[in-house]
């Protein structure tokens, strides 16, 4: 065994996060580590990588018991972690080459002064080993997310890599970039590296991993070879119950009428000539790779991009929102993709966050918040969406990811929108809460809300949409309905495999 942990326990204050976990990784093996938020994946990762010391149990490398006092100790034994927030480990203003060798012994590239030429040659070599063609002069901050991730992987490989832990590596990648990453992971496996792959996305897990280990409540709930397990078994082990219907899609589209109609909508450099309509109660999914214009289309509808041509009609009335406030008044709501940076005010209370976009409705003529009415409306919304919080007054940032996301939904439900634009509606949400969010979408459509949804989670897009429109290079490339809505079809149209 390359790396193994035995009976590892770890508690923070009174809270025991790991309750005796065993895990083993062999050379040339990809082990997927899955589990809901709070199951202990991150803590286990941090034990393996020397950030946390276990309270009891032991960690072995090559069959030899080790004690890591800090991450440097773990790295010295060839264990590297690429965290979900890997960008924090890069220096955006330094070049690719400088980032790659920032931890290198200073004399590797010259005794006194660093020889840039040699360093950049080495960087080029390292990047082409990964099959990447990245200019080593390039400042890392200028690279795309996927390329930055590759730089981080190249950095890890430079250290006699034995075990690589990837924590949600595809969270910020589109489908094509994810494929490129999988190719790298497979290549590492061939080179005899042991890979621990942490992901919420079961399709990736089944496509990539040799074995799956499911953590739940700090113990291993299920472990086995990928070929011997079904998706349902894994999900059941994660949530601790069988999920009979993971995507509880309800068909609520009204037969006719149009809540949202776009005609020839154009935003130079982003998208062109987009015409579509969404009926009340209908969920229209927008497929496409990153940069296909799907995200900018939502932003434009919410008054965040300047439109160059075309018309927008909401319930038949022509609107041209110039700001989010105007869009909200026109009955448009926008569930933003990154709740931490663009969705919630983490320090403020759950109640304040939920009423924020609709505060005008609870304000007296003199600008005072009508607190009793506000509180009633917030409580109703929280009960309706099953937002679980000790109290509406606690900071929204202290809630679990799923409840934060439900609070974000609550904010937009409070504005009583005609059209709800949503981007990545279940990002960073655990499996159990995902289903609850799908139910929320069902309830909204049952009330006649029209939904235009962008999601990088293909199974979700396919399962929850009544209709899928695929965008490519800023234009609508295909419309898929009924049986024709498949992951395969969305991908093919998005990547121009068919035309």
Partner 1 sequence: MNPTLRRVARELRAAWMLLAVCVVLAVASPVFATSGNLLNVALATSVTALLAAGQTFVIILAEIDLSVGAVLGFSAAITALTLRHQSTVTAIVVGLLVGAGAGLVNGLLVTKARMPSFIATLATMSVLGGLTLQLSQGNPIAVTDYDFQNIGQARLAGIPAPVWIMVLVFIGFGVLLARTRFGRYVYATGDNAEAARLSGIAVDRVKILAFVISGLLAALAGFIVSARLSTAEPTAGTGLELEAIAAVIIGGTSLAGGRGDLVGTIVGALILGVIDNGMNLLDVSPFLQSVVKGLVILFAVLLDRNADVIRGWFRRRPPTAPAQTDQDAAELVSA
Residues that bind partner 1 (CB under 8 A): 12-13, 15, 17, 37-38, 40, 42-43, 46, 51, 84-85, 217-218, 302, 304, 323-325, 327-328, 334, 336, 340-349, 352, 356-357, 359-360, 363, 367-369, 371, 391, 393-395, 397-401, 411
Q: What's the min distance (Å) between Cβ of 84 and partner 1?
A: 8
How far is the CA of 496 from the CAs of 289, 292, 390, 426, 499, in angstroms? 11, 11, 49, 27, 6
Contacts of 15 (CB under 8 A, 6+ apart): none
Q: How far is the CB of 330 from partner 1 (least distance, A)?
A: 11
What is the C-alpha separation between 445 and 257, in angstroms, rounded?
14
Give 124 or 418: the residue with its C-beta nearer to partner 1: 418
Nearer to partner 1, 361 or 491 (CB): 361
Closest approach, Cβ 424 to partner 1, in A, equals 14
CA atoms of 66 and 62, how far apart (whole Å):
10
Between 12 and 247, CB nearer to partner 1: 12
Nearer residue to partner 1 within complex by CB, 106 or 340: 340
Alpha-carbon torsion, ordered 436, 438, 443, 448, to 10 deg = 160
24 or 346: CB nearest partner 1: 346
Non-local CB neighbours of 383 within 8 Å, separated by 6+ positions: none
- Asked if residue 428 lies in contact with residue 408, where contact means CB atoms within 8 angstroms, the answer is no
Cβ closest to partner 1, residue 293 vs residue 401: 401
Give residue for tokens 């931490």.
Answer: 340
Q: Nearest distance from residue 468's CB to partner 1, in Å?
A: 25
State the minimum distance, in angstroms, from the CB of residue 129 to partner 1. 30
Nearest approach in angstroms of CB 15 to partner 1 is 6
Strands 475-481 and 467-472 turn out to be antiparallel
Q: Which two tokens stand for residue 290?
A: 């990153």
> Token pair for residue 170?
């595809």
Two structure tokens written together for 282: 């209908």
Of 290 and 304, which has the nearer Cβ to partner 1? 304
Burial class of 107 by CB neighbour count within 10 A (0 to 12, 13 to 18, 19+): exposed
Nearer to partner 1, 348 or 376 (CB): 348
Q: How far is the CB of 347 from partner 1 (least distance, A)?
A: 5
Confirm if 194 and 28 have CB atoms less than 8 A apart: yes
Q: Which residues contact 28 (CB under 8 A, 6 or more apart)?
A: 189, 190, 191, 192, 193, 194
Cβ-contact 44, 20 below 8 angstroms: no
Please check whether residue 403 is in contact with residue 388, taking contact to mean a CB–CB distance below 8 angstroms. Answer: yes
CB 451, min distance to partner 1, A: 18
Looking at beta carbons only, is 37 or 138 nearer to partner 1?
Answer: 37
Structure tokens, 461:
């897009």
What minimum distance in Å lies between the beta carbon of 397 and partner 1? 8
**Paired strand residues for 67:** none
- The nearer residue to partner 1, 323 or 488, going by C-beta atoms, is 323
Query: Distance between CA 82 and CA 181 in Å, rounded?
Result: 13
The residue among 25 and 421 lying less far from partner 1, judged by its C-beta, is: 421
Q: Which is nearer to partner 1, 312 or 399 (CB)?
A: 399
Beta carbon of residue 57, minimum distance to partner 1 (angstroms, whole number): 18
Sheet holding 3-12, edge to edge: 15-25, 3-12, 56-61, 64-66
- β-pair partners for 211: 31, 225
DSSP code of residue 160: T
Q: For the CB of residue 337, give the shortest distance to partner 1 in the complex, in Å.
A: 11
Would you say the C-alpha torsion 146, 198, 187, 154 has a positive or negative sign?
positive
Q: How far is the CB of 492 from partner 1 (least distance, A)?
A: 33
């Amino acid at each position: 065994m390359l790396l193994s942990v035995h009976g590892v326990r770890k508690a923070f204050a009174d809270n025991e996060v790991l309750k005796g976990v065993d895990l083993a990784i062999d050379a040339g093996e990809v082990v997927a580590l899955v589990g809901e938020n709070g199951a202990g994946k991150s803590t286990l990762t941090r034990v393996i990588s020397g950030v946390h010391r276990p309270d009891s149990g032991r960690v072995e490398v090559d069959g030899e018991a080790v004690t890591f006092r800090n991450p440097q100790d773990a790295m010295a034994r060839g264990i590297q972690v690429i965290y979900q927030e890997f960008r924090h480990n890069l220096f955006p203003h330094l070049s690719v080459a400088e980032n790659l060798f920032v931890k290198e012994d200073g004399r590797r590239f010259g005794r006194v002064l660093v020889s840039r030429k040699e360093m950049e040659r080495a960087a080029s070599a390292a990047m082409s080993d990964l099959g990447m063609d990245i200019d080593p002069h390039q400042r890392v901050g200028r690279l795309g997310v996927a390329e930055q991730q590759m730089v981080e992987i190249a950095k890890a490989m430079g250290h006699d890599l034995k075990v690589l832990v990837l924590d949600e590596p595809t969270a910020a990648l589109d489908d094509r970039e994810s494929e490129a990453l999988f190719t790298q992971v497979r290549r590492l496996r061939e080179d005899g590296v042991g890979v621990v792959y942490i992901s919420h996305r079961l399709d990736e897990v089944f496509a990539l991993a040799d074995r799956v280990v499911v953590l739940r409540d700090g113990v291993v709930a299920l472990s086995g070879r990928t070929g011997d397990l079904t998706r349902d078994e894994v999900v059941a082990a994660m949530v601790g119950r069988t999920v009979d219907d993971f995507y509880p899609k309800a068909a609520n589209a009204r037969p006719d009428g149009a809540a949202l109609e776009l005609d020839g909508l154009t935003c130079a450099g982003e998208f062109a000539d987009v015409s579509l309509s969404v009926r009340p109660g209908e969920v229209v999914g927008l497929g496409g790779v990153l940069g296909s214009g799907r995200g900018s289309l939502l932003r434009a509808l919410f008054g965040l991009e300047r439109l160059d041509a075309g018309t927008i009609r909401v319930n038949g009335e022509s609107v041209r929102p110039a700001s989010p406030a105007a869009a909200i008044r026109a009955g448009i709501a926008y569930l933003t993709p990154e709740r931490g940076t663009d969705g919630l005010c983490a320090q403020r209370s759950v109640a304040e966050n939920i009423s924020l976009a609709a505060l005008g409705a609870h304000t007296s003529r003199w600008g005072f918040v009508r607190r009793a009415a506000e509180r009633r409306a917030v409580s109703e919304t929280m009960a309706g969406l099953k937002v679980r919080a000790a109290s509406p007054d606690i900071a929204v940032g202290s809630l679990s990811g799923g409840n934060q996301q439900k609070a974000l939904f609550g904010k937009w439900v409070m504005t009583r929108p005609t059209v709800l634009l949503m981007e990545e509606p279940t990002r960073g949400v655990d499996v159990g809460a995902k289903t609850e969010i799908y139910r929320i979408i069902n309830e909204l459509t049952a009330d006649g809300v029209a939904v235009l949804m962008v999601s990088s989670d293909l199974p979700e897009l396919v399962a929850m949409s009544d209709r899928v429109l695929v965008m490519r290079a800023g234009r609508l490339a295909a419309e898929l309905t009924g049986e024709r809505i498949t992951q395969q079809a969305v991908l093919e149209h998005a990547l121009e495999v068919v035309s």
